[in-house]
Structure 1
Amino acid sequence: MEQGGAQAMIMNLYRRIDKNKIQFDFMVHSNGKGYFDDEIKKLGGKIFRIEKFYVFNTISYYFKWKKFLLDHSEYQVIHGHIGSSAIVYLQVAKMLGRRTIVHSHSALPDKFDLHSRIISLLNYPNRHIATVVLAASERAGSDRYGKKVLKQENFHVFNNAIDTQNFMYSAIRRNEIRSKLGISEEALVIGNVGRLVEEKNQTRLINIFNELVKLVPTAHLVVVGEGQLRPNLEHLIKHLGLNRNVHLVGSKKNVADYLSSMDMFVFPSVNEGLGISLIEAQCTGLFCIASDSVPKEAKVSPIIVFQSLSDSDVEWVNTILANQSQKYVVNRKSKMAYVKKAGYDIQQTVPLISRIYNDLYWR
């Protein structure tokens, strides 16, 4: 349970669900302490640990799940967010008479990637195993389970919703964060939120920003998030001489404050089930430029445009500069109403998931 889009969505639901009726407990594939572990325990949840799935350990993984579920008959609904091994643990749960949910949070990258294709092949049978099939978008569903899943009665797009009240634009927070980072009020600030991993494509983001700085030397880039690519990104930033302009601020609980400090959100992701950061950014009234690999469901307001990943870095910069003077950027206002209308407010999705759990429990 580290910081990430799926984890954030799960915690948003967990904080608000009626714990007198429904409790979340967690099975994780890690021995290390997770970002949300303390909060989970504070909310009454338990955390169990099992060996990570590597395909070659399928048999031992299978029997450990079987033993766990036999020892814990209280778990009647298993909600699976790890797709690669779901074919194992969902099958065990089904065999033992439990009800199951498989949940896809990501689509396949447009560019062929062997690892992603293997994960997709492992996911495909889950549509026949799970009692309910959920996905962050239609593409996240069809890429993982095949196009026919979209016509199944047990398939539903489940919006990765946010607490819109927590993502309101604040001019005060904007100035506080800029002052903290040593950025002037007048500077153009490009932003990004996401794990520092290949799928989020921050390497490309820094290269795009490098072209922007050639035209706007006072511009800054603020990246919120942590991940395995941090050393690589730090090396690239140093190599390009951008140390004073780029701020890798790490994981933050007050993401909304950092979104308020930005002028434009640039999201060149190569693989997204939805792109929850885009929903959060739009809620704060932040103009967004997203890659064409992002599902179109992420467009919940007029303040987002899509750019092809095949376009050059200069073309991305041209789009940034072309939208810099738009009224949405200059006269910034929160877009909570748009987010709610599109069904991405947490108050709308908590009743939906509660109904799914209750229907499964009593089935």
Structure 2
Amino acid sequence: MHVLKVLLALVVLLGCGGYWFVSQPQMDPLITEARKKKIEASPHYVNGEFVPEHPHESISVPLSFWKEFLFPGPGKTIPKDVMVHEKTDLKSLPPDEDVVVWMGHSSFYMQLHGKKILIDPVAAEYASPVPFVDKAMEGSNVYSALDIPDDIDVMVLSHDHWDHLDYDFVRAIEPKVHHVVTGLGNGGYYEKWGYPLSKIHEEDWWTPVEIDKDLTVWFLPSRHFSGRLLHRNQTLYGSFAFITSDRKVYYTGDGGYDDRFEKIGEKFGGFDLALIEDGQYNKYWPTVHMMPEESARAGDDLHALAVIPYHNGKYPLSTHSWKEPYERMAAATEGRPYEFLTPVIGEKVDIGKPDPSLRHWWEEME
């Protein structure tokens, strides 16, 4: 009887702990009736979930894969050296400069036509809900919420995965952010975390959001998936075009290769700069992330004048070596009509100005 009581107590404790864990505010968005109606009205919400325009390939993942994936080792998926980085003072940048600063992984700070823009800002130590999986590489966490300038005109969120949506960061910068643009359902995170509805723009694909007369942000398709823990594909993932009178910049978000890049390139007549996903790919999820050669091809499809790769250099979310995305994409971009730009984390890049000084910094590291 005593043993049964102990077992019952353990079950209750585990159950309570599990309930507490999944009930934390960072886990799921607030889905109000109004938000639910907008989600269900989308033509991309099919049989209870959002689906990409081109279905994903279904490939089984062997058990042997998970050990290397969950517990990466130094020298392969994690560099032995401290990640090369700089730290541009974002607050001191002249506001009339068109610049972009890679903040690591998929995060960018950008200035266009006098507007301040944040893209998927993340400063979390772990790209996971638990503090022992997907730890940030040493030297890659350069920026915090304190480094973000005041008066951010717009912050965008491509999708709700842990390596793109940072609960602590997002909450800390709320007073600085004037507008949030994201996909259907994702506004439920921001509302739940203290953002007024007046700041939140939740959109379906191919929708423009006019921030003001000088900047329009388009929410565009992607070929990915969403969900932070238990509920998958209940929020819409996507990409973004930032359009001003004199600049056009595209951010791919996450997602496998398809013909959307050609469609987007044609619609907008090309881009001054394309920020293109390159990393965390795997043969077991070939349609969820692009291979580097596909990322290079996407730059052509988009008619980009310059390309910056991202989705690497911070979190080890696949089993390829940490520098392989750069090596393969650098090789694949040779001879292409755009400039391949490879800033280190925190390095400023002037949009529309060729910069041959950017080096293959990953070759300097082990």
Fold agreement, TM-score > 0.5: no
Q: Greater helix percent: which structure?
A: 1
Q: Normalization by structure 2: what TM-score?
A: 0.31
Task: Pick 1 or 2: higher relative contact order, CA cutoff 8 A, min separation 6.
Answer: 2
Q: Normalization by structure 1: what TM-score?
A: 0.31
